[in-house]
Amino acid sequence: MKIPMVDLKSQYNKIKSEVDKKIAEVIDKTEFINGGEVKLFKQELANYLNVKHVIPCANGTDALQIAMMALGLQPGDEVISSDFTFIATVETIALLKLTPVMVDVKPDTYCIDPEQIEKAITAKTKAIIPVHLFGQCCEMDRIMEIAERHNLFVIEDTAQAIGSDFTSDKGWTKKAGTIGHIGSTSFFPSKNLGCYGDGGAIFTNDDVLAEKISSIVNHGMKVRYYHDNIGVNSRLDTIQAAILRVKLPHLDEYNAARQRAADFYDNAFKDCQNITTPVRCKKSTHTFHQYTLVLNNVDRKALMEHLNNKGVASAVYYPVALHNQKAFQEYEYNPKDFPVTDKLCETVLSLPMNTELSDDILKYITDSVLEFYRK
Ligand SMILES: *Cc1c(COP(=O)(O)O)cnc(C)c1O
């Protein structure tokens, strides 16, 4: 057996004829940039998310950068995010010469800790970027309440949680990415809604922001060759949009397949003292971009080696907290501020998670993990 973390090939095989036909159509029309498929995808994703505006762009990293540009953030402004995330979230803050203020996460959900946000706010703070890590929403009720009280913008990094639902104490349920002022996502192939190259999108319910974002993604122009502000070149190409249009109707079923695999894992590990399975919080569904365990008193390297010998892939998301990354050394973070992240970096382990995990495969994976403890 050889079990990879993701299995895009088996997923593709199930939709191959439709995808191949769509790609051929785009090529036949030579509508490579801003073709009809892009416009249709925009609308269909907006309908799915129940959000007013979806602006596609080239990738999830650009989506974050463009969101901050659209909010008019200025050099020196502070933006708060968590240090237990993929680097893109914080890298884009630094790239725009804003000041990345990183705070610790919660030990149960691995998402940003609202109490730490509150403590980190200064007169220079302008925005918060909560990351819905591994497929589960941050505590958006608390985060929106803090943001309103301090007059801050909220950009939700939804790269790992497209399709997740957050239910507020106030009674409403909304899709991840549509609660704050702006949401961003990625269509990187291995994401829950992945294309066959790079892709991303920005969401907002605000008409003014939507217009600004649409302009920034396209060199700051509304009318061709008339540039109103400094923008970038960040487009979702038509072939990717065509592929995403085939895959979007399957997104709920894809996320359900991930949840089913997660249930299988939870159940298999429930009596294992050495494993803490992912917490499911009441207010958010979990779409399991990753299935990430916390290992208690386990030699992680030895377990990964054991799994590797059995043909089972595993991975560490993330091995180094952002405050410890060389790239961020100049900001001189206090290493004592991140006890939870530091512990997670030492103890987390992610198992194969994708839409194509059969019970046989899952049983082989969980047996292989449990065998390590019986040795
Ligand atoms: C993948 C990811 C991104 C970046 O997306 P790209 O499309 O790869 O640029 C940003 N934030 C998080 C949390 C991610 O997982």
Q: Would you state the pLDDT for residue 176?
A: 98
Pocket flag, ligand 1, residue 86 (CB < 6 Å): yes
* Residue with CA closest to ligand 1 atom 6: 60
Please indicate whether residue 59, judged by its CB atom, sits closer than 6 Å to ligand 1. yes
Q: What is the mean pLDDT of residues 260-266?
A: 98
Average pLDDT over residues 264-289: 96
Distance 372 CA to ligand 1 centre (A): 33
Residue 229 in tokens: 């502000």
Return the CATH number of the domain spanning residue range 8-102+110-249. Answer: 3.40.640.10
Side-chain-side CA neighbours of residue 297 (13 Å): 4
Q: Is 171 left (phi over 0), alpha (psi -120 to 50) or beta?
A: left
* 222 pLDDT above the threshold of 90: no
CATH class assigned to 251-374? alpha beta
111 confidence band (pLDDT: 50, 70, 90): very high
Question: Are the folds of 8-102+110-249 and 251-374 the same?
Answer: no
Q: Is the CB of 82 under 6 A from ligand 1?
A: no
Q: 102, 157, 162: which to mutate for ligand 1, most atoms within 8 A of CB?
A: 157
H or E element at residue 54: strand 53-57
* 131 within ligand 1 shell (Cβ under 6 A): yes
188 Cβ closer than 6 Å to some ligand 1 atom: yes
User: pLDDT band at 1, cuts 50/70/90?
Assistant: confident
What is the rounded CA–CA span in Å between residue 22 and residue 37?
Answer: 9
Give distance in angstroms: CA of 89 to centre of ligand 1.
Answer: 7
The pLDDT of residue 63? 98
Taking alpha carbons only, the member of 363, 344, 321 closest to residue 89 is 321
| Dist. CA 297 → ligand 1 center (Å) | 31
Going from N- to C-terminal start, the domains of the chain cover 8-102+110-249, 251-374
Per-residue pLDDT tens over the stretch 5-38: 999 999 999 999 999 999 999 999 999 999 999 9
Q: Is the CB of 160 under 6 A from ligand 1?
A: yes
Segment 310-341, tens digit of pLDDT = 999 999 999 999 999 999 999 999 999 999 99
Residue 375 binned pLDDT confidence (cut-offs 50, 70, 90): low
